[in-house]
Amino acid sequence: MSTPAHRARLVLALRSAGITNTSVLSAIESVPRELFVPETFVDRAYEDTALPIGYGQTLSQPLVVATMIQALELDDRVKLFEVGTGSGYHAAILSHLCRRVYTIERHKPLLAEAQGRFDILELSNVTAMAGDGMKGWPEQSPFDRISVTAAGAEPPQSLLDQLKIGGVMVMPVGGESRLQQLMRYRRTEEGYDSEVIMDVRFVPLLPGVASETGT
């Protein structure tokens, strides 16, 4: 089991790796990462590495999580949509930095586990549902920010369309067999500006809701 020292060491490592936003570092320090990993990996919860969470999904390494969240340029007025709840770790950190977090997951068992963790941590500003993240969450749009934790060959237009003018979306782009890049898209009056943040490796963004077997 972790101690505050485990979290403090992780924050120091992230700061040394270039994470400068103190609000992001504080949010990461406040979330018990061991709660979001399978029991067999609890002793590795604070290593800077990705860990499997079942159904072919992974919990991204802390540096990638921190980089994504820092790139979103968050504040406590933001309404954010997350595609890919996974274990719920990313959303738990976001909940400390945003006004509202809406998160969607195509694997119902993962979503149920994540919801249980949100309940334990009393994260009342997180709303989660099972669904097709590629379609977004039209009923709650537009969003100030969108965070996509799976890679696509290109950003889905349906997600870009659900961003407010001036809004930001961060998403890994690229196929499974080639280099992926974490991209930041900013919606403008004329369209979208984009920039590369870092090279990454994510599971693919897939349509629909997964079957009980995970496909």
- 151 and 198 in contact (C-beta within 8 Å)? no
**Which stretches of 102-175 are DSSP H helices?**
108-120, 157-160
CATH number at residue 118: 3.40.50.150
Residue 69 lies in a domain: yes
Residue 39 lies in a domain: no
C-alpha distances in Å from residue 123, one per residue of 7, 96, 100, 111, 145: 19, 9, 10, 15, 19
Res. 16: pLDDT tops 70: yes
Residue 76 lies in a domain: yes
pLDDT of residue 4: 76
**Which stretches of the chain are DSSP H helices?**
4-16, 22-30, 62-71, 89-95, 108-120, 157-160
Q: What is the pLDDT of residues 145-179, one digit of tens each?
A: 999 999 999 999 999 999 999 999 999 999 766 68
Residue 62 lies in a domain: yes
How large is the average pLDDT for residues 81-97?
98
- 197 and 63 in contact (C-beta within 8 Å)? no
Residue 215 lies in a domain: no
How large is the average pLDDT for residues 76-91?
98
pLDDT of residue 177: 62
pLDDT of residue 179: 83
Chain center to CA of 119: 18
- Look up 60 and say whether it is catalytic: yes
- The single residue of 2, 23, 30, 60 carrying the catalytic annotation is 60
Residue 2 lies in a domain: no
> What is the arrangement of strands in the sheet containing 163-173, beginning at the earlier edge strand?
126-130, 100-105, 79-83, 143-148, 163-173, 180-187, 192-200
pLDDT of residue 96: 98
pLDDT of residue 109: 96
Res. 91: pLDDT tops 80: yes
Report percent pLDDT > 70 for the chain.
95
pLDDT of residue 210: 85
Q: In total, how many domains does the chain have?
A: 1
**For residue 95, what pLDDT band results from cuts at 50, 70 and 90?**
very high
Range of 112's domain?
49-200
How large is the average pLDDT for residues 99-118?
97
How large is the average pLDDT for residues 114-122?
98
- 160 and 169 in contact (C-beta within 8 Å)? yes
Residue 38 lies in a domain: no
Rank 40-49, 85-94, 201-210 by mean pLDDT and report only the highest. 85-94
Query: What's the rounded Cα separation, in Å, for the pair 171 and 181?
Result: 8
Is the whole model's pTM more than 0.85, yes or no? yes
Residue 135 lies in a domain: yes
Res. 131: pLDDT tops 60: yes
Res. 2: pLDDT tops 60: no
C-alpha distances in Å from residue 81, one per residue of 2, 12, 100, 101: 29, 28, 9, 6
How large is the average pLDDT for residues 31-58?
93
DSSP 2: -
- Of 8-12, 65-69, 122-126, 142-146, where does mean pLDDT reach its minimum? 8-12
Query: What's the rounded Cα separation, in Å, for the pair 57 and 205?
Result: 11
Query: What's the rounded Cα separation, in Å, for the pair 213 and 203?
Result: 17
pLDDT of residue 14: 96
